[in-house]
Amino acid sequence: MVVTSPNQDWIPTHPVERKVVRTYQDGLWGEHEYSRWPQPIIRGMWHVACIPSLRHPHPLMPPILWSLLMPSRDWVEDGTVGVPGLGFLKADVRNDLTNGARYATDAFQQVSGLTPERRAYGDQLCLVVSQCLDRMNRLPSYAPVAVAVGAHLQRVGLELLGLRTYLTVLLPRLDSAEDYSEDLLPVLGVFARDAATAQLATRVGLPVWFLQPLSPQVKVWNVVDRTFPYFLSGKETDPPMRHHPDELGAIANLTSSWVSNLVFAVTGQLCTSRLPRFDITAADTHTREDDGPMKTRRLELPATEMQAPPTRPGDGPKKKTRRGGKKSKSVVTSAASSSAVTLDHSPEARHPARSFTPSSFVLIPEPWEAALRSVSPLGQPRHSVHYFYPPPFLLDTVSDMTPSLIPPAGADQLRRDTKVHQYLHNAVRIREFCRLRLLDPLVSGEPLTIAEWRAALWGDYEVKHAPPESTDRRLKRKIENKNGVARLFGNGAALDSYNSSAVEHLNGIAVTAEVAATDPRVRALLLWESHEVNFRCELSALDASLVPRAAMSVMERWGREAYVSGVWGPEASLASVPFMWPRSHDGEWENSVLHLRRFISVMSQWPDSPGVLRQMRTAASWTSEDYDHLQREAALFYVTKFTSCYGRLPIPPIPCQTD
């Protein structure tokens, strides 16, 4: 066999067909790297041959798309994430890759006149780019993984540029009978194994190499050695990227594309972020009969506080919403509030997990407060309740140690906890790890019980042992639960136990133990983060329960997760759940319409979604009265669905109040 070419003066190595595509230190696939190296023609994927070539780079194309990434040069460990050995690609590399990826996606999306069928694959690649960007910029990883993610971002970006060239230049040439052999495209080109493919590629102006048997009929004008115009790493990494055994790489007559299959498989391996399951029966199976009711001794509830009845029309003056400042004309109704419920005013019933408890430190938006009151109090849960992130009611209590922070009016109504200041100080230290563990598969991200979050915030990460002579099973279980937290934070995050003399940093604030106890900005930021991260995780988990993912393809699941994430911003994805900081808003309700529309659209696919939400989801415009009414209906429906699924109150979103 010989390789000949009618329009090239160099010969690349022919990719050898194989069932395992090897990955190398630079994150690429060696001679099977279709974004850098010519490949045999792939049925239905001529755009791979149209990927721009480094031999003829376009001056406007970002050079970072071809740059080789190496762990020793382009990655740096991040000591703030909590887990040794995790880090990011260097900031300038990530910035260049982000700009290069956006250049590629914009170039494809600006192609006009495409049918949905022709646009579908490119839209999928744009979603892959979004997944990779979030993974690269938000989730720390070991050096080989970070480089592989960056290389995959380059690969898919170049494929998008090749798809654009195919749709705008090559496809019209293929449909034409004209000869474009003299107008050679500056692209990778293709290996051909039959004369018809070689002739067609030559006519439309693609670089082509024809693999054929050597015979007297083959005309040879010049003999050249195999050349390597592009350096590729020769050192393999483990594990290799595998695809289906029936789909061999670099075979001309494939019935399905190994390239697209491998692209999505690699994306799934490198870039998929998935919240842990939020199942109340999965993490803790101790029933009330085993352990008794939920413990509340460490959090003192005021004896005079009585649970307010459900909000009804005309009960007292109406508050303004936090967005629009308009008075709502909606009627709050709920099956939970209309049913005959005997209110239980015991400390157990008034626990913040079961009954709405106003906070003296944050403002709960009125629609959410009304919805939470309407279902309170909930019945005693059979299992311990769980939270993805430290629940805010552990951080908004007061201590007699700082009487200046206790509001003089209604001081007897405040919940008290003598440990809250240590909780606040230690929360600043462990918050990075608490966010990382939600989406990083290397760290256990299972939701924790209230008791486990208390242990995590208290910060004693030394493993203890029960007295050998003890026969108290409850004591042993309690110690073992604390040891589980100690192992998670002490071993998983390599964190030392709490040190009151430590100085931590939060949004530019140097936080000492005294600052944590006295500076209201620290508590405000921590409470906003607690509300926001819990809300985002809980919304994602509830949607996964009500819109099952089992029947979805990987792309459909990514699309649904991105759609749900749009509730908190147009640039959001599942990976952005714990990694966003509050932005300033001017308070006008119009600025929140897009967020509320997406929230309503997400819930419209849930069972028993109210008709008003379905109808108004697509309304061309809303008035301020519509906005107020829909806020209440959406909050009420969400709270009702959440409590019925998980047996506790959800954590509502709040505005950030740092002033």
**Calpha distance 252→517 (Å, rounded):** 69
Same domain? For 35 and 173 the reply is yes
Residue 210 lies in a domain: yes
Give the number of other Cβ atoms within 10 Å of residue 297's Cβ: 6
The length of the chain in residues reads 659
Provide DSSP, 121-178.
Answer: HHHHHHHHHHHHHHHHHHS-B-HHHHHHHHHHHHHHHHHHHHHHHIIIIIHHHHHS-S
635 pLDDT more than 90: yes
Band of pLDDT at residue 65, cut at 50, 70 and 90: very high
Question: Helix %, strand %, coil % for the chain, to 5?
Answer: 45, 5, 50
* pLDDT reported for residue 450: 92
Provide DSSP, 607-641.
Answer: TT--HHHHHHHT-S---HHHHHHHHHHHHHHHHHH
Same domain? For 543 and 607 the reply is yes
**Calpha distance 241→258 (Å, rounded):** 12
- Looking at the chain, the whole-number percentage of residues with pLDDT higher than 90 is 36
Same domain? For 316 and 168 the reply is no
**Taking the model in full, what pTM does it have?**
0.72
Domains held by the chain: number:
2
Residue 276 lies in a domain: no
User: Helix or strand or coil: residue 506?
Assistant: strand
Same domain? For 537 and 618 the reply is yes
Q: What mean pLDDT do residues 346-357 have?
A: 76
DSSP state of 388: S
* pLDDT reported for residue 43: 76
Of 593, 633, 627, the residue nearest 610 (C-alpha): 633
Cα three-residue angle 410-423-456, rounded to 5 degrees: 135
**Calpha distance 633→648 (Å, rounded):** 19
Phi/psi at 517 (nearest 5 deg)? -85, -20
Q: List the beta bridge partners of residue 448.
A: 387
Residue 108 lies in a domain: yes
Of 245, 271, 368, the residue nearest 311 (C-alpha): 368
Residue 480 lies in a domain: no
Same domain? For 197 and 295 the reply is no
Same domain? For 392 and 303 the reply is yes
Q: What mean pLDDT do residues 263-267 have?
A: 72
**Calpha distance 72→184 (Å, rounded):** 38
Please name the residue that has the structure tokens 């979004």.
130
Average pLDDT, rounded, for the chain: 79
* pLDDT reported for residue 572: 67
Residue 478 lies in a domain: no
Same domain? For 449 and 538 the reply is yes
Same domain? For 377 and 406 the reply is yes
* pLDDT reported for residue 109: 93
Residue 537 lies in a domain: yes
Please name the residue that has the structure tokens 């041959």.
49
Residue 474 lies in a domain: no
Same domain? For 610 and 533 the reply is yes
* Residues 405-443: tens digit of each pLDDT: 555 544 455 677 788 999 999 999 999 888 888 877 667
Any idea which of 21-35, 296-310, 551-565, 608-622 has the lowest mean pLDDT?
296-310
358 pLDDT more than 50: yes
**Calpha distance 63→297 (Å, rounded):** 61
Residue 293 lies in a domain: yes
Same domain? For 129 and 181 the reply is yes
Same domain? For 352 and 254 the reply is no
Same domain? For 175 and 79 the reply is yes
609 pLDDT more than 70: yes
- Residue 77: which H helix or E strand, with range? strand 75-77
* pLDDT reported for residue 406: 56
| Residue 199 amino acid letter | Q
Domain span holding position 152: 2-218+233-271
* pLDDT reported for residue 442: 66
Q: List the beta bridge partners of residue 208.
A: 190
Higher pLDDT, 486 or 478: 486
